Amino acid sequence: MNITKPTLLIDENIVRKNIKRMTERAKRFNCELRPHFKTHQSQRIGEWFRDYEIDKCAVSSLEMAKYFFNAGWVDITVAFPLNILEHTTVNDLAGKIKLNLCVESIETVKALNDFLEHPVGVFLKIDAGYHRTGLAAENYAEIQSILEALESNHLITIKGFLQHAGHTYGAKGKAEIDEIHAYTTEKMIKLKDYFIKKYPDIIISNGDTPTCSVSENFEHIDEMRPGNFVFYDVMQAEISSCQYEDIGVAMSCPVVAKHADRNEVIVYGGAVHFSKDRIEKDGKTIYGLIAEEKENGWGDPISGWYVKKLSQEHGTIHVPDEAFDQIKIGDLLYILPIHSCLTGNLMSKYYTLDGEEIEMFRYNS
Amino acid sequence: MNITKPTLLIDENIVRKNIKRMTERAKRFNCELRPHFKTHQSQRIGEWFRDYEIDKCAVSSLEMAKYFFNAGWVDITVAFPLNILEHTTVNDLAGKIKLNLCVESIETVKALNDFLEHPVGVFLKIDAGYHRTGLAAENYAEIQSILEALESNHLITIKGFLQHAGHTYGAKGKAEIDEIHAYTTEKMIKLKDYFIKKYPDIIISNGDTPTCSVSENFEHIDEMRPGNFVFYDVMQAEISSCQYEDIGVAMSCPVVAKHADRNEVIVYGGAVHFSKDRIEKDGKTIYGLIAEEKENGWGDPISGWYVKKLSQEHGTIHVPDEAFDQIKIGDLLYILPIHSCLTGNLMSKYYTLDGEEIEMFRYNS
């Protein structure tokens, strides 16, 4: 393929391996897998999941739910607090598919009861420790009153409790991921046990790629909703959710300038291509890692090389002395993104290693 | 207009005021204004500039140059180090418009000389202190050799020296902006004086919104290329390039959850809508400011309110006690972006206050 500008490459073999591994884990834990499609946001990549018998998914917006409905997905959870302003889209989708929504306040449930015209499943969004959003897992009284408000609506099926342990993204290694997993799981189990008699069909749905990738105890978890695992990225490799060889996407960026005096190479590839997510490592702020070139695709990160700075279109790459002179203007560098969800969202198109174009969802289109 | 999801609003009156003010400044300084269109990235907003007799622009990629050529712009500078891999696009555009390119190495000039088929103007990208990229302004020997390599090609017109004082974005107030401006301007003038006899037509082209917005001495600067000024944003207001009332775009985001225990409100509006640019202020990290609602549009930031965290679709807003209870689920909040260039790029659509849709450039489309 003739790459001339920042291009997001996808290695289908790695991605399929990642999907296969997660489906096998879910089977082993006797857990339903409802992959979150907000990472790849692509109907085409969604099809790859079907090859592993996945027939349900999670998305992060009603618009994205419509996009995947248009590709034949008919069992979709919108894993985001219901935005009551989008009631038209809710009714539109609820009339056509098995749509699951998330609520976390009585105000939202009242609004939902007012506008809902078709059957939906409803999860209570639970905060089991991340403290981004959701009902505190200990707040049985409020949870009870919301369950009762939902019960009063014959169009609503109470699905259960949904949580996302996003704080695992800040973990340092498997031990810390497992610790968070144990802590949040205990809270979710207590919660389910408390309500199971009255609501025998409720389930626990867990998100977050790190625990779903490495933790072993899912005995009482009914459903997994990881998303990032399909591609992984530098952030996930650094917290040991995956190996670097599991990263399924890489940017290819042209070298446009060199600054030997400060060991910096400038690539065409900036914040509008990568996003500005970053990690701190060995006292350095890192916006991406440069991967070695292989016969077909990329390999592991090259030690000592990293993306040091990003502005709108410029990427500043630190390159050690010994390698600097080998780099030529017009070379293409493979760059592993810090956060593949945001990079994919910005690039809005993938290219397989055979140069095949893969379209994806576009907000506002 | 019926807003139901994160929506980027544009106040045409403010934007036109910003354009008018900058054209008047340029006139007053007897300076050519070549606005950088990478901020708005919209053919339609480009038309607004024509009302102020602007007939040339700068862009940040050859693709964006094509986009504006398609809207009738025929004098375009690609203010980015030439990416020699895009030689086909260069020749395609050079055959149709007055295209100016930037070079900063002899390797790039050699490649350009090899593939160029039509006349182009060429600027030398100069580093006058920002140290992102460009030829060191003191490096006369290398600059000389590049000028000679350019001279040897009859298709090339040497335009002069182009610099971007991007370090003004880190300035704290006008004094610091002026200091940087004086320092970089002195270097640029020395450089021009050194080569003017041999190249009587060379000019100095300066970028960066802060100096173009507030500095007063442009006596020896021939051309201004500010971009962000068209919208401004929180970052620019904080470094005093503008007043808050000059910010021409705001996001409108629905409230989806409330957390009274920690004074946090969750809006539908996250990193995929705003980008993750941030500022540090009073020991806080801020991803956006909430503006008061006015009869038609938004006003100044509300003191004590700010965007505290952004994940993919969630925005976490800190709201002081006294205001907290007034906020209802389903309310829309006006949020001023930290960096309007990146927010516009992500939203890829604007809506005027009358609800009129404004399309913009999309990478990879």
Read off the pLDDT of residues B225-270 as tens digits, 9 standing for 90 and up: 999 999 999 999 999 999 999 999 999 999 999 999 999 999 999 9
From B10's Cα to the closest Cα of chain A, the distance in A is: 16
Q: How far is A189 from chain B (nearest CA, A)?
A: 23
Which residues, at least 6 apart from B250, have a Cβ–Cβ distance to it below 8 Å?
B8, B9, B11, B291, B297, B298, B334, B335, B336, B337
Pick from B61, B82, B84: CB nearest A313: B61
Chain B residues closer than 8 Å to A84 by CB: 254, 256, 329-330
Closest partner residue to B311 (CB to CB) among A61, A166, A266 is A166
* Category of B232 on φ-ψ map: left (φ > 0), alpha (ψ -120 to 50) or beta: left
List all residues 6 or more positions away from B169 whose beta carbon is below 8 Å from its beta carbon.
B208, B210, B235, B239
Overall pTM > 0.80: yes
Neighbours of A108 (CB within 10 A): 25
Residue A365's pLDDT is 78
Topology of the domain covering A244-359 = Lyase, Ornithine Decarboxylase; Chain A, domain 1 (2.40.37)
Arithmetic mean of pLDDT over chain B:
97
Q: Which residue has the tokens 């990416």?
A: B83
Surface of A (291-330) touching B: CB under 8 A: 309, 311-314, 316, 328-330
- Containing H/E element for B65? helix B62-69
Residue B365: its pLDDT value, please?
Answer: 78
Q: How far apart are CA A76 and CA A79, in angstroms?
A: 9
The pLDDT score that the predictor gives to residue B272 is 97
- Closest of B121, B146, B8 to residue A329, by C-alpha: B146
With beta carbons less than 8 A apart as the criterion, state whether B125 and B206 touch.
Answer: no
pLDDT at B364: 85
Identify the pLDDT of residue A364. 86
Q: Do the chains contact at A276 and B272, CB–CB below 8 Å? A: no
Q: Which CATH fold topology does A74-226 show?
A: TIM Barrel (3.20.20)
Over residues B163-196, the pLDDT tens digits come to 999 999 999 999 999 999 999 999 999 999 999 9
- The ranges of chain B annotated as CATH 2.40.37.20 are 244-359
Q: Quick one: pLDDT band at residue B32, thresholds 50, 70, 90?
A: very high
**Does B91 touch chain A if contact means CB atoms closer than 8 Å?**
no
In Å, how far is A244's CA from the nearest CA of chain B? 23
Cα B317 from Cα B286, distance rounded (Å): 10
Nearest to B312 among A134, A272, A341 (CB): A341
Integer angstrom CA distances of residue B225 from A127, A164, B62, B128, B170: 48, 45, 17, 15, 19
Which residues partner with A357 through β-bridges? A351
- Listed as ranges, residues in chain A with pLDDT below 50 are none
Q: Which residues of B touch A92 (CB under 8 A)?
A: none
Q: Is the predicted pLDDT of residue B294 greater than 90, yes or no?
A: yes
Chain B positions touching A309 (Cβ under 8 A) are: 132
Query: Per-residue pLDDT for B152 more than 90?
Result: yes
What residue ranges of chain A are covered by domains with CATH 3.20.20.10? 74-226
